[in-house]
Chains A and B, each alone.
Chain A
């Protein structure tokens, strides 16, 4: 039964990965990353249930904390990028070209 949760986690992760590589909107990319993190959280908690230990829950909490920090900083960067070019397209920032 736990396998079902894990399969769900895999599906969500893959959808998130799809979103990262196929969308150009910075917000969508960022939210896809959050989706991937959530999928990982689900896997952690499922395994904690399987092994009957709390470590998975603790790790899930850590992941949430890190995701919160990352969200704050990423959004600050998005605001800066928008200030710079007033565009929300990841393809606009291509100084690494060549």
Chain B
């Protein structure tokens, strides 16, 4: 059976070409006559649209293949060969990566269209789309890569694009600092990833360093080594996917334009960590302790972020913490060895989180870049499309039964319970209640009640079609995406789980039907409680409270940023200044200076002989002659 495909490489290549072309066009015209935005728009969406079509083609191609050996590969070129390490730039399309690229390209394309409206009039229009295309290309390389090294190329690429896009409004220093923070914190995680990758190569890499070969050789791995590798790789995931302790960059990343927050920090880049754990399921399946660590870190992050989200007043920060929280759920899913459930939550979350962010962007745009929810209110009347789509998104996020979020989140919680992680399940249910609460707190404050800022309210109007149509499309996805993995108890046949089965190493526990109904009931109860409390407090409109005590502590994010700054950043900077003040002048520069001083000394010594009197130079010649004749007269005898 033929496993090579020739078009896989085009999927990441199209957006990359677009990025280069748009980038060059912007670079050469940014100071002179500008190219009309329409040109940039067409070029910008061309790449993602082609990638989406190719992704769908790959999907159908794979579906036509039998379940055994359901994968396509393409080796574009050999990158480097060093000793036993033979890395090629190759792509692997198996069920897991195809699922990812389908929704990544689809949502990516929708957000490109949305950005045409959102970024209209910005003077760096071309630069934005260059970066956005570059991001899409890097993300596709990450997902389609056929080995850890190629994945790492994409991993770094999306980190770079995240930095570039967060600092997009670079005239404001805070934005640039936020970009720096994102990149640096990511880098810390990347160190763990590289260490894990190196250990992996050292242990079982000699038989080939791509996923198929590694999966085949995974049995040769010693348990301790496997545990170490899994934990180190997870460190990389905490950086990229904003888990404890490296989540601090994600809320600051909201300084970027809203489409960026939607695409990168909600739907795609931050899910790279979850994808990575699922991709290495053959390692995690043999190291259950690592899985437990992942699950607990995930669910505790979910709890922490939910607490923060309950008290935030910036609409994007609420959504950011909600993203961190949902990512925690995903990691809880893959941590308890329910890889398909975790990936399925990635899939559904992409839809409703992107929807929520784009809707928030619509609101922000309408109110002329007002982001404080305590200054909004009553927008239901003014922005109906945004209202209804956001409602769907909020319900999906909160886990409303029959919408997408319910099925995926519930699957994770049920799997946690069925695999024996009761603690994870309990915390998960509590967080579900909190999720519902803070989601609808935001919703009621923004769209219901009396407007708090009358002036901004009067200018507000519905966003243009190019922005609302993606909202509608995503809302449809948020409603119906859940049905793709309908569990048996509801009469479905878990299509996604079966689709992913050949990519993952997964056990499917059979809990009793009673356990499943209990879990579902608990989830619905959490949802109801959360909404009810939010309704009681915020339905009729409320004023901004003065936070005290625990609320104040939570509003200030438990002062974690300040703690990191005091304990990590300042000593590091102090070390840097010490090195600059002490080490460099004397040690590193000192050695170089010694040689220059020696040269100068040598020169000054010889300068003594250059008296400037020609007579003395003649004397030197005679002295030389004399010495030579002394020597020669010895030989003459």
Q: Are A21 and B612 closer than 8 Å at their CB atoms?
A: no
Q: Are A90 and B614 closer than 8 Å at their CB atoms?
A: yes
**What is the distance, in angstroms, from A15's C-beta to the closest C-beta of chain B?**
13
For A, the interface residue count at a CB cutoff of 8 angstroms equals 14
Instruction: Pick from B135-143, B248-256, B493-501, B615-623 the stretch touching chain A.
Output: B615-623
Judge whether B80 is part of the interface by a CB distance below 8 angstroms: no
Within 8 A of B (CB), among A62-98: 90-91, 93-98
Instruction: Find chain B residues with CB under 8 A from A46 CB.
Output: none
Judge whether B607 is part of the interface by a CB distance below 8 angstroms: yes
Instruction: Find chain B residues with CB under 8 A from A24 CB.
Output: 615
Within 8 A of A (CB), among B590-616: 607, 610-615
Q: Are A17 and B612 closer than 8 Å at their CB atoms?
A: no
Size band of the interface chain B makes with A? 10 to 19
- Chain B interface mostly helix, strand, loop or mixed? helix
Residue of B nearest to A90 (CB): B615
CA distance A95 to B612 in the complex (A): 6
Judge whether A35 is part of the interface by a CB distance below 8 angstroms: no
Q: A17-B622, A21-B622 are in contact. Are A94 and B613 (CB under 8 A)?
A: yes
Residue of B nearest to A92 (CB): B613
Instruction: Find chain B residues with CB under 8 A from A95 CB.
Output: 612
Judge whether A39 is part of the interface by a CB distance below 8 angstroms: no
**What is the distance, in angstroms, from A82's C-beta to the closest C-beta of chain B?**
16
Q: Are A97 and B610 closer than 8 Å at their CB atoms?
A: yes
Q: A17-B622, A21-B622 are in contact. Are A98 and B612 (CB under 8 A)?
A: yes
**What is the distance, in angstroms, from B585's C-beta to the closest C-beta of chain A?**
30
CA distance A4 to B611 in the complex (A): 40
Q: Are B610 and A96 closer than 8 Å at their CB atoms?
A: yes
The one of B610, B612, B618 in contact with A20, judged by C-beta atoms closer than 8 angstroms, is B618
Q: A21-B618, A21-B622 are in contact. Are A98 and B607 (CB under 8 A)?
A: yes
CA distance A66 to B204 in the complex (A): 88
Residue of A nearest to B619 (CB): A21
**What is the distance, in angstroms, from B527's C-beta to the closest C-beta of chain A?**
90
Q: Are B610 and A98 closer than 8 Å at their CB atoms?
A: yes
CA distance A90 to B619 in the complex (A): 13
Judge whether A29 is part of the interface by a CB distance below 8 angstroms: yes
The one of A23, A29, A97 in contact with B612, judged by C-beta atoms closer than 8 angstroms, is A97
Instruction: Find chain A residues with CB under 8 A from B614 CB.
Output: 90, 93, 96
The one of A17, A29, A97, A98 in contact with B615, judged by C-beta atoms closer than 8 angstroms, is A29
CA distance A44 to B23 in the complex (A): 85
Of B613, B614, B619, B622, the most chain A CB neighbours within 10 A belong to B613
Instruction: Find chain B residues with CB under 8 A from A98 CB.
Output: 607, 610, 612
Instruction: Find chain B residues with CB under 8 A from A17 CB.
Output: 622
Within 8 A of B (CB), among A14-66: 17, 20-21, 23-24, 29
Instruction: Find chain A residues with CB under 8 A from B610 CB.
Output: 96-98
The one of B611, B618, B619, B622 in contact with A97, judged by C-beta atoms closer than 8 angstroms, is B611
Q: Are B611 and A94 closer than 8 Å at their CB atoms?
A: yes
**What is the distance, in angstroms, from A32's C-beta to the closest C-beta of chain B?**
10
Instruction: Find chain A residues with CB under 8 A from B611 CB.
Output: 94, 97
CA distance A91 to B618 in the complex (A): 13
Of A24, A95, A96, the most chain B CB neighbours within 10 A belong to A96
**What is the distance, in angstroms, from B349's C-beta to the closest C-beta of chain A?**
78
Instruction: Find chain A residues with CB under 8 A from B619 CB.
Output: 21
Other than the known A21-B619, A97-B610, what 14 A-B pairs have Cβ atoms closer than 8 Å? A20-B618, A21-B615, A21-B622, A23-B615, A29-B615, A90-B613, A90-B615, A91-B615, A94-B613, A96-B614, A97-B612, A98-B607, A98-B610, A98-B612
11 of the cross-chain contacts (CB-CB < 8 Å) are: A17-B622, A20-B615, A21-B618, A24-B615, A29-B615, A90-B615, A91-B615, A93-B614, A94-B611, A97-B612, A98-B610
- B residues whose Cβ falls under 8 Å from a Cβ of A: 607, 610-615, 618-619, 622
